[in-house]
Amino acid sequence: GARPLMADLRNMLEVVACIGILLVIALMIMEMMR
């Protein structure tokens, strides 16, 4: 594509970071509810 590669990588890293944080929060909630 015409967009620079760094912009795509940065967007992907942001998405991965958001998903990772949500997974960590979900695991913490599951641990507390156990």
- At 1 the pLDDT is 61
Q: For the chain, give every domain's residue range.
A: 1-29
Residue-wise pLDDT tens digits, 1-34? 677 888 899 999 999 999 999 999 999 999 999 8
Predicted local confidence at residue 17, as pLDDT: 97
The helix or strand, by DSSP H or E, that contains position 27, with its residue range, turns out to be: helix 5-33
Phi, psi of 3 (to 5 degrees): -75, 145
Residue 12 is predicted with a pLDDT of 95
